[in-house]
Chain A
């Protein structure tokens, strides 16, 4: 039985089209042209020696030819991180306020066919969560929802941002992609950066993973960061979920996406996240495209060297020791005191909804700060001022 699915390249009613932008097309063209097997050791050496890296140099650092050079790549990344960020490491906490989702993404714990407990915090519960997080000393919060316009509408998210402004100096959102005027509204409510994971830049693969819902519309998601910048957001974050498809191509596309947008909007603050699907350990069928820690580090360092001024957030999905080693080397931002369930921060709130994924580093803010200090780095709770 074949089911007729929505055309994933066709915008749904109400979705804003950026007629005047060619960024999405250019990213996809660059990714398609990226042939990582053509690079040699000498290309990698040249990239490592270049003062400013071209997209082609970035491609070389992501290639298999660069794998034997991982230590040198890490050294260069560490130098660049030091030059641009000194010893500082930024801290933040993600706060999940709802886990309703209208999308059917086959790899995600929140997907609409997964029978998990759904919840949406009301304004009092959100306030209690924020109070509890702020009481730990945290000054930056990232508000997350599942991707349901119906259950978590823009007003609801905006109100959460307003409350967050009372407790935190820096407020980000990681919610469903929206239109420019909606980003403008969230900015007026106090949010100043937007994270959207593209998951994979391969639209054919994307189509097979996102079977239903708004998220299925590939180009609308691809242009989210540009709409956010036009809506007045100070910063935008990019990520592919490495391992969904060919991670080298996805990492290259992620870098090019950030690179092209930064050239077009030089004032925008750029950052990367690096989530990955873990390979199955002890699997007989070893897949060369699996993203092990070595490959993850290669991607993170390549982002750092290609765009040395960009922020780079290390995911809570990674183990504590990995996270402690990559801060100061390539990562500049780390979460702490994380819970991916709904309503878990405050003792007064019931744990109302299930988590999106299991975290690998459950340390509190104090414990993470201690880990940062042990590495001779400086924990920074805020380096930012919100201007409306």
Chain B
């Protein structure tokens, strides 16, 4: 099936060969270019707040051809997310937008209800919304119906590097949602990124794990390799060997005709 085709990630009609989405926060801007290149990333997220604080300079550090994924961080509800998205568009950041709606300053957990509303508002404005969300199936369905182009469930609280704490729930989204599932937030190590990809996630978004590594460039490469390995394993179909057929048939011995 899929195995013989070119394996690409399609989001909102746009095609990518890389399945690693890199965050741009917490870096020295000088290192962003090197990180993007070693990660093989084609999409980089960008907080609009930072675009403003750098007066556009951060954009200069992002290599040509990389798709910008501005986020709405700072939004506390759907209306604020829309305002930030419109500002991002004005700033020339394109149509992709990662919806982040958070009104909890301690854990920074996304508000699924407002996020679904924001998806609807932004989709109507012609954006390609990628909602960052807590992995809840009903909320994800609401976001799909509201016009999301991908779903970005968190693996663990943002910045926590705790790995796939929500694994079973992300797994349900992978099974049930017919859009790309991009695991976002909480991934601390390449092995965790690999595990998520092996399970069938379509892409990984990471920032802190790389930005706080001893060697940013080396860690970006390690993530790239881990994500590719996980993807290849997923496509290969993980093999398990069952016991050979048993001689007795306790369950099927009754069959006639």
CA–CA, A285 and B178, complex, Å: 45
Task: Check B240–A70 contact: CB distance below 8 A.
Answer: no
From B176, B242, B256, contact of A45 by CB (8 A): B242
Map CB proximity to B onto A34-51 as digits: 1 under 8 Å, 0 otherwise.
000000001001101101
CA–CA, A48 and B239, complex, Å: 11
Closest approach, in angstroms, between the C-beta of B255 and any C-beta of chain A? 4
Does residue B90 face the partner (Cβ distance < 8 Å to A)? no
Does residue A263 face the partner (Cβ distance < 8 Å to B)? yes
Does residue A294 face the partner (Cβ distance < 8 Å to B)? yes
Does residue B252 face the partner (Cβ distance < 8 Å to A)? yes
Q: If the complex has contacts A56-B1, A322-B256, are A72 and B245 also in contact, measured as CB distance less than 8 A?
A: yes
Task: Check B141–A266 contact: CB distance below 8 A.
Answer: yes
Across-interface contacts of B178 in A (CB, < 8 A): 263
Which A residues between 315 and 352 are near B, CB-CB below 8 angstroms? 319, 321-322, 325, 329
Map CB proximity to A onto B221-247 as digits: 1 under 8 Å, 0 otherwise.
000000000000000010111110110
Across-interface contacts of A329 in B (CB, < 8 A): 251
A contact patch SS = helix
Task: Check B252–A297 contact: CB distance below 8 A.
Answer: yes
Task: Check B242–A278 contact: CB distance below 8 A.
Answer: no
- Residue of B with least CB distance to A278: B257
Does residue B105 face the partner (Cβ distance < 8 Å to A)? no
CA–CA, A294 and B251, complex, Å: 12
Task: Check B237–A78 contact: CB distance below 8 A.
Answer: no
Across-interface contacts of A46 in B (CB, < 8 A): 237, 239-240
Task: Check B257–A279 contact: CB distance below 8 A.
Answer: yes
Task: Check A321–B254 contact: CB distance below 8 A.
Answer: yes
- Residue of A with least CB distance to B240: A49
Task: Check B175–A49 contact: CB distance below 8 A.
Answer: no
Does residue A68 face the partner (Cβ distance < 8 Å to B)? yes
Does residue A292 face the partner (Cβ distance < 8 Å to B)? yes
Does residue B53 face the partner (Cβ distance < 8 Å to A)? no
Task: Check A297–B255 contact: CB distance below 8 A.
Answer: yes
Q: How many residues of A contact B (CB 8 A)?
A: 30
Task: Check B240–A71 contact: CB distance below 8 A.
Answer: no
Does residue B4 face the partner (Cβ distance < 8 Å to A)? no
Which B residues between 117 and 146 are near A, CB-CB below 8 angstroms? 141
Q: How many residues of B contact A (CB 8 A)?
A: 22
Task: Check A68–B256 contact: CB distance below 8 A.
Answer: no
Closest approach, in angstroms, between the C-beta of B170 and any C-beta of chain A? 13
Task: Check B241–A45 contact: CB distance below 8 A.
Answer: yes
Across-interface contacts of A69 in B (CB, < 8 A): 245
- Residue of A with least CB distance to B172: A52
Across-interface contacts of B1 in A (CB, < 8 A): 56
Task: Check B251–A71 contact: CB distance below 8 A.
Answer: yes
CA–CA, A45 and B242, complex, Å: 6
From A45, A51, A52, A293, contact of B255 by CB (8 A): A293
Closest approach, in angstroms, between the C-beta of A78 and any C-beta of chain B? 7
Across-interface contacts of A45 in B (CB, < 8 A): 240-242
Map CB proximity to A onto B154-194 as digits: 1 under 8 Å, 0 otherwise.
00000000000000000100011010000000000000000
- Residue of A with least CB distance to B141: A266
Task: Check A78–B256 contact: CB distance below 8 A.
Answer: no
- Residue of B with least CB distance to A56: B1
Task: Check A292–B257 contact: CB distance below 8 A.
Answer: yes
Task: Check A52–B257 contact: CB distance below 8 A.
Answer: no
Closest approach, in angstroms, between the C-beta of A50 and any C-beta of chain B? 9
Task: Check B256–A71 contact: CB distance below 8 A.
Answer: no
- Residue of A with least CB distance to B256: A293
Does residue B55 face the partner (Cβ distance < 8 Å to A)? no
CA–CA, A52 and B1, complex, Å: 18
Q: If the complex has contacts A71-B245, A71-B249, are A52 and B175 also in contact, measured as CB distance less than 8 A?
A: yes
- Residue of B with least CB distance to A77: B251
Does residue A135 face the partner (Cβ distance < 8 Å to B)? no
Closest approach, in angstroms, between the C-beta of B136 and any C-beta of chain A? 13
Across-interface contacts of B175 in A (CB, < 8 A): 52
Task: Check A49–B249 contact: CB distance below 8 A.
Answer: no
From B176, B239, B245, B256, contact of A263 by CB (8 A): B176
From B240, B241, B243, B245, contact of A68 by CB (8 A): B245
Across-interface contacts of B243 in A (CB, < 8 A): 72
CA–CA, A297 and B251, complex, Å: 11
Does residue A74 face the partner (Cβ distance < 8 Å to B)? yes
Closest approach, in angstroms, between the C-beta of B46 and any C-beta of chain A? 34
Across-interface contacts of A51 in B (CB, < 8 A): 171
Q: Which of B240, B245, B249, B252 has the most CB of A within 10 A?
A: B252
Q: Known pairs A51-B171, A71-B245. 18 more at Cβ < 8 A?
A: A46-B239, A49-B240, A49-B242, A52-B175, A71-B249, A71-B251, A71-B252, A263-B176, A266-B141, A279-B257, A281-B257, A293-B256, A293-B257, A294-B252, A297-B252, A297-B255, A321-B254, A329-B251
Q: Which 7 A-B pairs have the closest CB atoms?
A: A49-B240, A74-B251, A293-B255, A325-B254, A45-B242, A71-B249, A52-B175
A/B interface sample: 30 pairs, CB < 8 A: A45-B240, A45-B241, A45-B242, A46-B240, A48-B242, A49-B240, A49-B242, A52-B171, A52-B175, A56-B1, A69-B245, A70-B249, A71-B245, A71-B250, A71-B251, A72-B242, A72-B245, A72-B246, A74-B251, A75-B251, A266-B141, A266-B176, A292-B255, A293-B257, A297-B252, A319-B256, A321-B256, A322-B254, A322-B256, A325-B251
Binding site for A on B (CB under 8 A): 1, 141, 171, 175-176, 178, 237, 239-243, 245-246, 249-252, 254-257
